[in-house]
Amino acid sequence: MKILIIEDNERVARFLKKGLAEVGYTTDHADNGRDGMFLAVSETYDAIIMDRMLPGGIDGLGIIVALRKDGNQTPILILSALSEVDDRILGLKSGGDDYLVKPFSFGELLARLDAILRRSQELHADSTLTLGDLCMDRLTHKVTRGEKTVMLQPREFKLLEYLMRHANQVVTRTMLLENVWDYHFDPQTNVVDVHISKLRQKIDAGSATQLLRTIRNAGYMLTNDA
């Protein structure tokens, strides 16, 4: 995976480069809008991580609008210190694929980056999702684990569907809140954990392999790997 980082804060950029190198991604870095724009149009990247406020004449949103106008569909993750709901909406409307507010944890960033990378690969989702012996029919809303049928509430179904579509990928609590419940705020109590443990009971109870795992300091992952 080749990622372009457009970020003027040197420390944040270094942190991102190191972290992404750690998980095996190669990165290019531009510290201003002009260079970033040049790299984005002249090279091919799997994704772009872009700061919103940039020096160099063109800001993050300007680059995104220009790229999208040009037909460039590279997934873009916007990083910004602007946290208001309207800022987020503007960022996504301009053509960004996700919006992450600074300060952020690297785990959150990586999970979201993987999610948008995956999204661009699977534009046409199958009607049936499978992971090991866990099977979900998205049309009939039927879920089975091995021979056993799993009864799920509508919201639990949506939660599992999201996890299955992002199987083998870390999903954070915030991502679940935003995508399953459409809540863009931080509930004071960690309710998501309770939902996950309830779901885990339903799909993993009685099975030898635990599919739904908690990833410490990051979130959860639905995986069949040992």
- Is 198 an interacting residue with respect to another protein (CB under 8 A)? yes
Q: Could you tell me which stretch among 6-14, 51-59, 110-118, 188-196 binds another protein (CB under 8 A)? A: 188-196
Q: How far is the CB of 220 from another protein (least distance, A)?
A: 15
Binding characters for another protein, 138-157, by CB under 8 A (x = yes)? -----------------x--
Q: How far is the CB of 114 from another protein (least distance, A)?
A: 21
- By beta-carbon proximity to another protein, the closer residue of 29 and 195 is 195
Beta bridge partners of 102: none
Q: How far is the CB of 26 from another protein (least distance, A)?
A: 27
Q: How far is the CB of 69 from another protein (least distance, A)?
A: 26
Task: For residue 83, give every residue at least 6 positions away whose Cβ sits within 8 Å of its Cβ, in sequence order, or none.
Answer: 101
Contact at 8 Å (CB) between 125 and 165? yes
- Is 162 an interacting residue with respect to another protein (CB under 8 A)? no
- By beta-carbon proximity to another protein, the closer residue of 147 and 182 is 182
Q: How far is the CB of 128 from another protein (least distance, A)?
A: 27
- Is 94 an interacting residue with respect to another protein (CB under 8 A)? no
Could you tell me the sign of the dihedral formed by the alpha carbons of 194, 212, 143, 97, in that order? positive
Coil/strand/helix, residue 203:
helix
Interacting residue with another protein among 44, 121, 127, 188 (CB under 8 A): 188
Say how many C-beta atoms besides its own lie within 10 A of residue 121's C-beta.
9
Angstrom distance (rounded) from CA 47 to CA 177: 23
Q: Could you tell me which stretch among 144-152, 165-173, 185-193, 204-212 binds another protein (CB under 8 A)? A: 185-193
Query: Rounded to whole angstroms, what are the CA distances from 78 to 96, 134, 140, 146, 221?
Result: 6, 34, 36, 40, 23
Contact at 8 Å (CB) between 114 and 170? yes
- By beta-carbon proximity to another protein, the closer residue of 191 and 205 is 191
Query: Rounded to whole angstroms, what are the CA distances from 144 to 37, 167, 168, 195?
Result: 47, 16, 19, 19
Residues near another protein, by CB under 8 A? 83-86, 103, 105, 155, 181-189, 191, 194-195, 197-198, 217
